[in-house]
Amino acid sequence: MKQEIGLLVVFLLVFLYDTFMPQRAGKALPVVSTVLLLLATAAGFCSHCLGTATSTEAFAGMYATSPVVCAIKSILNIGAVIVLLQSISWSGSDHMAVRRGEFYELLLVTLFGMYLMISARHFLLFVIGLECASLPLAAMVAFDKRHYESHEAAVKYILTAVFSSAVFMMGISFVYGLAGSLYFGNIYAALSAGTHSLMLTLAVAFVIAGMGFKLSLVPFHLWTADVYQGAPTSVTSYLSVISKGAAAFSFLVILAQVFGSLYSDVWEWMLYALIILTITVGNLFAIRQTNMKRFLAFSSISQAGYIMLGIEAFNTMGLTAMMYYILVYIFSNLAAFGVIGAIERASGKVDMTDYRGLSKTNPRLAFSMMLAMFSLAGIPPFAGFFSKFFIFTGAINQGSVAIYVLVLIALINTIISLYYYLLVVKAMYISADEPVVGTFRSSISERLGLWITVGGVMLLGIASCVYTWIFDLGEISPLAAYFV
């Protein structure tokens, strides 16, 4: 509960600052919001260190938290702070003057919605969280008013979001009809007692489809590329990491605490098919992209498939590997988006062909991008290797032959992904053409963001304490009781 309160306080302070401070002081708003959120994040970590992050319930059991839940929220917080940091230069520009506050307020609200999704133990609260996290995002996607693509992206996003919410709630209403309650615990008890009806199968499929929208699993992913490309880069990076991370964790919570008893009969196989489709189709599209944001959209689709492996494993190792994967993915992807954002702001270029010869004009940016690509592709010793390694290990631990096949397919796909990640590196380092983007100096906030993310990419894997911390939390998590 403390983290939600902390976030609300941050929101209110930002809101008050935006409303009552003079126009001139508005320039400092991005920095103020970043620092405030950073403080809230630090406070969250303090509660970990002091051991006050305990399991509590609120709202008659509709809300529950535990150390592992606090941990995932802290991880998301870190990501949000980096996103805010990277957005400072962009939102500091003049055309943002009147709307600057809105961006940060909307972002904080969506983060709050994600908190609710993660902690909800009742579908009512969950849907509130879901909508709270989805609808303001549409406004954020449309933020770049001057660009027609931004509008198009927002319309596509909101329409698909509404449709997926409808399907999701359809699924919930089926579940309610079968179990007679919206509490996760009650539904779990009712489902594990009764036999599996066909309607239940459809309900599970609809719930998965609803969550599949947020995670951009194939075939619920078609909005992703258009929206990622059209949205402002800061929003894209937020969508691709934070929104996805929160959805992945709450997805696991629902599948375990509501449908846990149906694992081997029903949703294991649904997820199995979705993972193969997601990773493969994401990769197949990614190899053809030339726009960097669109390229990362498909790469993030395929990455979501890997994250799902942690759920598919359905054991403690899978849970912790998934959390670790999210953490590493936040750092790697934000490093990539940091470079894209900086280049876009300086030169307006977002095409892969524009990255040719970048290593000559902007060696540090090129180096950061290269490490981000290496990490996303899973090359040791960068963090991405370890996260992939753990997630595969978690899946293998589940033990069935089908899972071995799944991991094999995922491994083959990492080879394909290596191809397109290296395309970027090739353009930056090997291409002999004249550099397109001239030498420029990125702003302090952008550089700071890159230092943090690239540092994370290099250190998160080697510093074994990070994974150990998450693993220890995973062992004592309430979710562990649901695993088979």
Least spacing, CB of residue 376 vs another protein, in Å: 18
Q: Give backbone dihedrals phi and psi of 183, rounded to 5 degrees, phi first.
A: -70, 135
Does residue 125 bind another protein (CB under 8 A)? no
Least spacing, CB of residue 425 vs another protein, in Å: 18
Which letter does DSSP use for residue 433 in this model?
Answer: S
Q: Which of 304, 130, 144 is nearest to 235 (CA)?
A: 144
What sign for the dihedral angle of Cα 285, 287, 290, 291? positive
Spatial separation of the C-alpha atoms in residues 76 and 450, rounded to whole Å: 17
Q: Is the CB of 205 or the CB of 436 nearer to another protein? A: 205
Does residue 462 bind another protein (CB under 8 A)? no
Q: Which of 55, 186, 201, 393 binds another protein (CB under 8 A)?
A: 201
Does residue 368 bind another protein (CB under 8 A)? no
Q: Which of 21, 31, 35, 205 binds another protein (CB under 8 A)?
A: 205
Torsion region of 60: left, alpha or beta (phi above 0 gives left; psi -120 to 50 gives alpha):
left
Q: Which of 142, 209, 309, 366 binds another protein (CB under 8 A)?
A: 209
What is the 3-state secondary structure of 114-146? HHHHHHECEHHHHHHHHHHHHHHHHHHHCCCCC
Does residue 416 bind another protein (CB under 8 A)? yes
Does residue 45 bind another protein (CB under 8 A)? no
- Token duo for residue 294: 């669109």
Q: How large is the C-alpha radius of gyration of the chain?
A: 21
**Neighbouring residues of 332: CB distance < 8 A, sequence distance ≥ 6:** 372, 375, 376, 382, 383, 384, 453, 457
- Token duo for residue 480: 């562990």
Q: Is the CB of 15 or the CB of 163 nearer to another protein? A: 163
Does residue 198 bind another protein (CB under 8 A)? yes
Cβ atoms 285, 225 nearer than 8 A: yes
**Neighbouring residues of 405: CB distance < 8 A, sequence distance ≥ 6:** none
Least spacing, CB of residue 199 vs another protein, in Å: 9
Does residue 471 bind another protein (CB under 8 A)? no
Q: Which stretch binds another protein (CB under 8 A): 93-101, 264-272, 343-351, 355-363?
A: 264-272
Least spacing, CB of residue 58 vs another protein, in Å: 33
Q: Which of 5, 46, 222, 476 binds another protein (CB under 8 A)?
A: 222
- CA 306 → CA 218, 242, 318, distances in Å? 13, 16, 11
Burial of 432 (0-12, 13-18, 19+ CB in 10 A): exposed
State which of positions 151-180 bind another protein (CB under 8 A): 155-156, 159-160, 163-164, 167
Least spacing, CB of residue 240 vs another protein, in Å: 17
Write the single-letter amino acid at 246. A
Q: Which of 83, 274, 366, 377 binds another protein (CB under 8 A)?
A: 274
Question: Contacts with another protein: how many residues (CB under 8 A)?
Answer: 40
Least spacing, CB of residue 216 vs another protein, in Å: 11
Q: Give backbone dihedrals phi and psi of 65, rounded to 5 degrees, phi first.
A: -140, 160
Least spacing, CB of residue 265 vs another protein, in Å: 7
Q: Is the CB of 163 or the CB of 451 nearer to another protein? A: 163
Does residue 463 bind another protein (CB under 8 A)? no
The residues of the shown chain that bind another protein, judged by CB under 8 A, are: 155-156, 159-160, 163-164, 167, 196, 198, 201-202, 204-206, 208-209, 212-213, 218-220, 222-223, 225-226, 265-266, 269-270, 273-274, 281, 283-285, 287-288, 415-416, 419
